Structure formats: structure tokens, C-alpha cells
Structure 1
Amino acid sequence: MLKLSIMSEEELTHIFGDLDSYIPLHEEFLAKLGEATRADGTVGQIGHILINWLPRLNAYKEYCSNQLAAKALLDQKKLDRRVQDFLQRCIESPFSRKLDLWSFLDIPRSRLVKYPLLLKEILRHTPKDHLDTKSLEEALCLIQGVLADINLKKGESECQYYVDKLEYLDDKQRDLRIESSKALLCHGELKNKNGHKLYLFLFQDVLVLTRPVTRNERHYFQVYRQPIPVQELVLEDLQDGDVRMGGSFRGAFSNSDKEQKDLPDLSEECEENQPPVTNVKDPRRSSTVSGIVEMDLEENELNSTLNAGGDIKDGKTQCSQKEMQKLDKAQQGLKRKETLV
């Protein structure tokens, strides 16, 4: 891709990382296993080799923590027809086994998480009184610690990635708890039956509601209203299949004077101009009542006009020309009100 000038060296480094630097690491492990292998293909002890080698897998911290940004850049570059055509040709070639590029770039991460499973399986087939049992148990603890460190670094990187993607419409929305966040507990899209969408980020100390926006083929998240500290949230664990309707995005996540905010009502409206309400049915009922009141007023005006102008007998009225014009206007107003209702 560099020779074809469809990606810059900086972009390729960002996507592929420093994969070549990991090759010697695995070649060394392979050599150690070869030395420990007997003529019949068996290995007497492997625990001590693993104890010395597994900590070196911490080298994958940077690669794994960069995966989110690398995937985003790769997806963006795929919008270029030249890149898209090149990658499609690679998929169709025998060497790719019909796998796309990301399938290969994700292999290091997917292999790392399999080491604990591999060691547990070796332990399962190792007698408890075997000399290697204790070393294998220690190696298992080591790899679990390595993976925990990698996951922590990866989580911090993912958190920072999304923090950098936030856009503020007002400086008052900025919150130091967002900037100092080291963990993103969960994130995802909220959508109600009317199709209104918000994207939620639950950081370690604050909840942020956003609207996804695209600018120059780059994705950002526009902060919606004020972020809400987690101390002011109430989390209700709903049972499987339990659905709560009623309330609204604006009502459920408003940052008012209330000391607590409820999280179960995640599936209602989020329009900018809609005031916060506790029950979406109330405004509709008020609107209907208002329409009826206005209609009654028009009918009263009509009756008073008729009474003032004269009586109606056998389809004939005894009214002056001005009164008839006033009557016509009142009737037209009544028809409009009936249409609105």
C-alpha cells in the first residue's frame, strides 16, 4: 500500500503497529521449547520456560491499546476506492484464506486470551504430584496478571479515545470528571419507538449523553445537555424481558436540582425543545383539554352572537348585515377549531 501510494507511512504504522518487533519474542520461545523436547517428541517440564517467558508478553500492551484507533482509521481509509479495491484483491487471493485485513490484525489479541485456557488444559493432564505442577500454576497466575495489565491499558486507551471524540456546544458542559476518566464502564445507543437516538457513555465518575455526528468523514459525539455525576444516578436492575416505558431521555437524564436520577427509563423521547416531564401522557392530555376549552369558548361566542342578532326560526334569521358577517366569522373559527382538535 505504501508503494501504491494509497496510504502514508504514518497511517500504516498507526494501523499495523510494530508487529515485526514481536517476531523475535516468539522465535525465542519456540527455540526454548525445541531445546526441552526429547527425541520422542515429549517434554518433561515446561513450567520454568513459561515462567521466564510469559512476562515478556507485556510488550503487547501498546499494540492492544491502539486497536480501537487502528480499526477506526482502517475503516475510514476503506472509504477510499483504491484502498477498498486493494483489500478486496487481497481477500480474493489464496494467501488470505478469504479473511479480511482486520482478521489478521486482531490475531495477536485473540491468541493472548487463549494462553490461560492452554495452561489450564496442560494442568488438567498433569498429575498433581508431578514436578511441573507448581511451576504451571505459577505460570497460570503470571499470564492472568499479564492479561489484566493489558486489559487495563486497553481500557484506559479506549476511554481516552472516546473522551477525545466528545464535542461540547457549551463550555458549561465540560466536566473535569470526564477529562480525568480512566475507565469507560459501558457505552451504546439508546433509541425509542419513534426513532430518536442518543449515544450514552458511562465513565467511572460521570454519565454523558451525546448525539453522533460526522464531519469530514470523521465521527464525533456532540454532548447533549449536562453530564450527570454517577453519585446522582440510581441504577435499577430489570429482570430479563422486563420493559419500562414512560418518561423520556430528557426527563430521565436531566441534571436538575434532584439529588438522584433514574436509569430505567432509557427508551423515550429526546427532542431538544421538549420540556422535561415525568409522564409523556400529561402534555397530550393537557393539549386535548385546551382544545376543548377553546372550542367551547367559540361555541359560547357563537351563541351570544346569535342571541344578540335575533332568533332563528324555520331556517330564517332576523339579523343585520354586520351581525351576519360576525356570525360567519364565528362559524369559520369553529370549523378551524374542530379541525385542529
Structure 2
Amino acid sequence: MVRSLVLTVDRDNDLGVKAGIRGPVIGRKATLTAALRLGIADPEESDTNAILGALHHHDRLVENADAHDEVEIALLTGDVRVGPRSDRAIASQLDEVIQEFQPDVAILVTDGADDEASIPIITSRVRVEHVEKIIVRQSKGIESTYYYIAKAIEDPRWRAKLLVPISVFLMIIGLGLIVPNGGVLIGAMPLIAGIWMFAKGLGWEEQLERLMLDLRESATGGIFSSMLWAISIFSIILGFVTSYQVFTNMEYVEYSNLRIWAVAIDEALQWIVVSTFAFTLSIGVLRWTEGSFTGRSILLIGFGTVVYTIAEATLDVIRMGLSGSNYILDFETVSNDWGLPLFTIALYYLLRTIIESIAKEDETSPTNKFWGV
């Protein structure tokens, strides 16, 4: 007697989001219902084909099974946030299915590499006899290729994987052409790509992800936060020392009090910025270790950068005016002095928009709204 379990995995939980079905789905009738509801909700969803492929494999096993053999089918769902969270959900549901059916072997039916990432979880609990990948035959014309690229851009899962590398590539080329001596940036691009492919080939990406998870789950974050606090305090002290050296420097004896203050603030400004950044990062590390990181620390760093560039440009203009030089309001002078502050303001606005968009998406995420089959 052999108890066979046909499994299919929806790692990104399209079934829950689009069809309102919570996993695990056990049994042929329930699985068929899930496939129909998902197909009606999104006819272009590839997970529907995987579920139908699992049903086909289940029926074929039933036809060829001996009298005492048992065959069951189950559908496991993960989470929209693909990663450790979805893998934990799949593992929990698989344990539930195994406890109910007690299979001897399992057959996994998937629709691609994303769902196949759950194979180690499955093999750690049950012996996998066969893995079948469902690939839908499509037209190879140019029109269909354009269609699939457009659909990939609309899909949040593939949008980041497709658009982010292209945008980074174009940004590096653009900066390399705009910034003086920008050939270094353009030359660094293949170097960075080579390092990334090298790390990907050696599997360092997974090791880095595990390291980050371990850091978050341990008290190491507190050590980093304490170090950043120390850097912040030490930078404040150095800022005061730098200002004191300006006031006691004999080179500035003939300067007016206002000009000396401008020089002192200008010299200490970098230490003040370092202290502010370290303090903000320490708060971000603490929030990250607690799992309550919202991106506000990043916004504070961006805002601090804006304040620093504006203050630096303002102090340069003040020092020029106090030294008796005339400030010429031509395009070249204004762009050289105020171009960087305006650029940081634009970047800060873009950063704030991105973080607010991500935060709003997390708040309105329907990952916990299920109504069952």
C-alpha cells in the first residue's frame, strides 16, 4: 500500500489575494473549485495551469493505482511577501497536510522556479518522488513577446526584478556622462555587475540573507546601535573642538565676529552632519531589530542631507559676502553654488514618495483577508 500526495504550491499566495481562498486546500473537489475560482478571477494567472496540472497528475495516478493504494491532492499557499514569511506559511500548511494524510511519497507540480524554491521545505518532510513543471505553450511572435514584457512590468513581483537593474544601468550611464570624470562610474558598472554575478554563482546571496535575518533576530542590532550612538556623541565633541580651534586661531583675529562664527559653523558642520546621521541610523537599527522599521530614519537622513547642502551653500555665500567679495548672480555661479541643494531636494521628494507609497501598500495589503473555499 502506497499513499501518494500530489502537491502544488502557490508561493506568492495569488489564490488568497485573487480568489479569497486560504490554504491548505485538500481534496480533488476543493482543489478543482480553487482552480476555477482563480481562473475566473484572473484568466492569465499561471498558477491556474499548475493546479490543473496537479489535478491531471492526480487523476492519472488514481487510474493506475492498485486497489490498496491511496492518492490525495493538496494545494499550499504562501504569502504575498515572498521569502521567509511565505516559506513559513508553506511549511505550516504542509505539516497540517502530512498529519492528516500521512503520505509515503509526494509528487510536486509547479509552474516555475519561484514555486520550486519551496522544494527544500517539502523534501525535509516527505520524500519527493517526482517534480513536474507545467509550461504553457505560447506564440513566439513579436506581438506576444511585447505582451508578456508589458504584463511583467505590470506584475509587482517581476516589476522590481526587471525595471530596477535597467534603471540603475541607465542612471549610472547618465551620471557618468554628466559628472566630470564620470568615466569611473561607467567603468564601475561592469565591475559591480561582475561582482553580483560572482556572488550569485557562489550562493553568497542566500548566505547574506541568512546573516541579515540572524542579525535581526539576535541582540547584535543593539551593539550596532550603541556603536552609532558613540559615533554620534564623539562627532558632537569633535564639532565643538573644531569650532573652539577656529575661535582661538590667530589667523582669524582680524575677522569680524559674524565672519568668525560663519567660519566656525562651516568647519563644524560636517561633524554635526555625521553626528545626526549616526543618531538617525541608530534609531533605524533599533526599529529594524524590533521589526517596526517604517523608513522614517531614511527620510531623516535624506532631510539631513538637504539641510546640509543648503547650509553649506549658504555659509559659502555668507563668507564670500563678509570677505568683501561681490556675489555675481550669473547662471554659472548660481548653478555651481545651488545646483547640489536643488538636486538633493528633488531626490528627497522622490525618496519620500517611494517610502510613503510602500508604507501605504503595507497598510492596505489584503494578505490576511480570506473567506475560504
**TM-score (ref. length: structure 2):** 0.23
* Structure with a larger share of its residues in strand: 1
Q: Higher relative contact order at CA 8 Å, sep ≥6: structure 1 or structure 2? A: 2
TM-score (norm. length: structure 1): 0.25
